[in-house]
Amino acid sequence: MNSFCLVMAALAQPLPWIGEHSALDPSGTASKHVASLWWAMFWTSLVVYVIVMIALGYAAFRRRTNAPADATSSERLTPAPRSVHLTVGIATGVTVLILFIVVVTDFFTARAIATPATGAVHIKIIARQWWWYAVYSGDTVPQQQLSVANEIHVPVGKPIVFTLTSRDVIHSFWVPNLNGKTDAVPGYESNAWFRADTPGVYRGQCAEFCGLEHAKMAFTIVAESEEQYNKWYQAQLAPAVPTTDSLRSQGERVFMTGTCSSCHAIRGTGAGGTLGPELTHLASQRTIAAGTLQNTPDNLARWILDAQRIKPGAAMPSQELSSRDLNVLVAYLEGLR
């Protein structure tokens, strides 16, 4: 089977998000307010629309006495009866009233979802073409600061506050289940937040056109219990699992002697590149390439070998590796839990 088919097969694998990742299936405090607002506006609009259509239909199709196609010239210029003036006036007044109520409802909803001053967790997001870099402030204790890429864990039921910026062009951070989007603008720091009310794995995707692979810049939010979150956090802080078996040692050698370490860091080893995501706990992630592929050994192999076919233009170059080197490398990486 040629590699193209393999790639296509890989992309067709189911990915691990649950829920509809729909804004109308809200799992967050803020997105629930917005969904309620939507339904209120929807029903109001529907009622108004039906009334206007009925009025239009009646006006157009009502039966008229002796209705020839051409009117006499005097009828064309006679003023409309008073009842028509009254109806138009009332309709205008009702419109103004409804719109006023809509605006007031908007303001109350906006207040309800305003970014809180502080949250339980503070995360700085640095958006880059075409992946997401997240830095947990860890209560400003340097040893507790954590950087991850593309998969962001949060405790359920707590407000999570984000500061967003971009390294290059404008991107937009959006998890429809949890809240509306906020743009990450170079030269600016923008604020966003959400509070996940239900544990789950939520999909996010960049929502501001940012270049060639804008379509493949997704990310994952994992909302879990506080206990699980803390466990995850501590595990991520730890340096890389040391290699014990020879297969992984060979893989580590391929990594360190090849071009990998010039872009990727693995804490606890000599690899310190910062152009690409840190790979210290790569195997703990659900997806790779910013949500493009499920994280399986096969997919990882395909990504390393032919990144430019899966995500052309990405900073990750396709690699020329012998199949043996590729196998040990993948074994090494899949051991980085």
Partner 1 sequence: MTAAMSPASRGPIDEDVQELARTWSRPPGFWGWLTTTEHKSIAKRYIITAFTFFLLGGLEAATMRLQLGRPENSVVGPDLYNQLFTMHGTTMMFLFAVPVMIAMGLYFVPLMLGTRNVAFPRLNAFGYYTYLIGGAFLYISFFCNTGPDAGWFNYVPLSGPMFSPGKRIDVWAQTITFTEIAALVGAVEIIVTTFKHRAPGMSLNRIPLFVWAMVVMSFAIIFAMPAVATDSLFLALDRSIDTHIFNPAEGGDALLWQHMFWFFGHPEVYIIFIPALGMVSSIVATFTQRQVFGYTAMVLSLIATGFISFGLWVHHMFAEPIPVLGESFFTAASTMIAIPSGVQIFCWIATVWTGRPRFQTPLLFVLGFFVVFIIGGMTGVMVASVPFDLQATDTYFVVAHLHYVLIGGGVFPLFGAFYYWFPKITGRLLSERLGRWQFWLFFVGMHVTFFPMHTLGFHGMPRRIYTYLAVTGWGPLNLVASIGAVIIFVSVVLFLVNVAKSWRGGAVAGPNPWHGDTLEWATTSPPQSYNFARIPVVVGRGGLWETPDEQPVVGGLRTDTREVLLTTLLDAEPESVHELPTDSIWPFLLALCMGITFISSIFAPWGALVGLGLGFLPALGWAWPTKPPQPERISPERAS
Partner 2 sequence: MTSSATSSRVPTMKPERVVRDVSNLPTIAFGSQSIAWWGTIGFMVIEGFTLALCAATYFYLRRNFSAWPPEQTPRPTLLIPIIQLGVMLVSIIPMYLAARAAYRLDRSGMLKWLLVEVVFKIVILVLRWYGFKALNTQWNSDAYGSIVWTTLGLHTTLLVIDAAEDIGLVIIILTKMRDRLFSDVTDDAIYWYFTVAAWVPLFFMLFLTPYVS
Read off the tokens for 337: 């839990």
The residue range among 10-18, 223-231, 250-258, 316-324 that interacts with partner 1, by the rule CB under 8 A, is: 10-18
**Which partner from the list partner 2, partner 1, none does 313 bind, CB cut-off 5 to 8 Å by kind?**
partner 1
- 67 binds partner 2 per the rule CB under 8 A: no
Q: Among 70, 75, 139, 227, indicate the residue that binds partner 2 (CB under 8 A).
A: 70
Give yes or no for residue 103 binding partner 2 (CB under 8 A): no
* CA atoms 25, 30, 32, 33: torsion sign: negative
Tokens of 288: 């790779």
Cβ nearer to partner 2, comparing 48 with 71? 71
At 316 the three-state DSSP class reads coil
The CA distance from 198 to 224, in Å, is: 8
Nearer to partner 2, 184 or 206 (CB): 184
From partner 2, partner 1, none, interface partner of 120 (C-beta below 5 to 8 A by class): none
Interactions with partner 1, residue window 259-288 (CB under 8 A) = none
Q: CB under 8 Å to 141, separation ≥6 — which residues? A: none
DSSP string of 88-130, one letter each residue: HHHHHHHHHHHHHHHHHHHHHHHHHTPPPS--SEEEEEEEETT
Using CB under 8 A as the binding rule, whether residue 18 contacts partner 1 is answered as no
Nearest residue to 132 via CA among 68, 240, 204: 204
Residue 230 site contact among partner 1, partner 2, none (CB < 5 to 8 Å, cut-off depends on kind): none
* CA proximity to 175, closest of 190, 189, 162, 158: 162
Q: Which is nearer to partner 1, 179 or 236 (CB)?
A: 179
Q: Which does 91 bind (CB under 5 to 8 A by kind): partner 1, partner 2, none?
A: partner 1
Q: Which residues contact 63 (CB under 8 A, 6 or more apart)?
A: none
Residue with tokens 């998000």: 17
Interaction residues for partner 2, span 83-102 (CB under 8 A):
none
Q: Which helix (H) or strand (E) holds 323?
A: helix 323-334
Residue with smaller CB distance to partner 1, 166 or 269: 166
Which partner from the list partner 2, partner 1, none does 109 bind, CB cut-off 5 to 8 Å by kind? Answer: partner 1
Taking CB under 8 A as the criterion, the residue among 1, 5, 60, 69 binding partner 2 is 69
CA distance 310 to 328: 22
Is 86 one of the binding residues for partner 1 (CB under 8 A)? no
Q: What DSSP element (H or E) covers 290?
A: none
Taking CB under 8 A as the rule, which mask of x and - marks residues 152-191 in contact with partner 2? -----------------------------------x----
- Contacting range for partner 1; rule: CB under 8 A; set: 5-13, 147-155, 272-280, 300-308: 5-13
| Min CB(67)–partner 2 separation in Å | 13
Nearer to partner 2, 58 or 61 (CB): 61
CB of 176 to partner 1, least distance (A): 4
Tell me the C-alpha distance between 122 and 102, whole Å: 33
CB 161, min distance to partner 1, A? 14
Interaction mask 155-194, partner 1, x per CB under 8 A: -------------xxx-x-x-x--xxxxx-xxxxxxx---
Q: What is the DSSP string of 169-203?
A: S-EEEEETTTEEEEEE-TT--EEEEEEB-S-EEEE
Task: Answer for the pair 43, 54: CB distance below 8 angstroms, yes or no.
Answer: no
Binding site for partner 2 (CB under 8 A): 69-70, 187
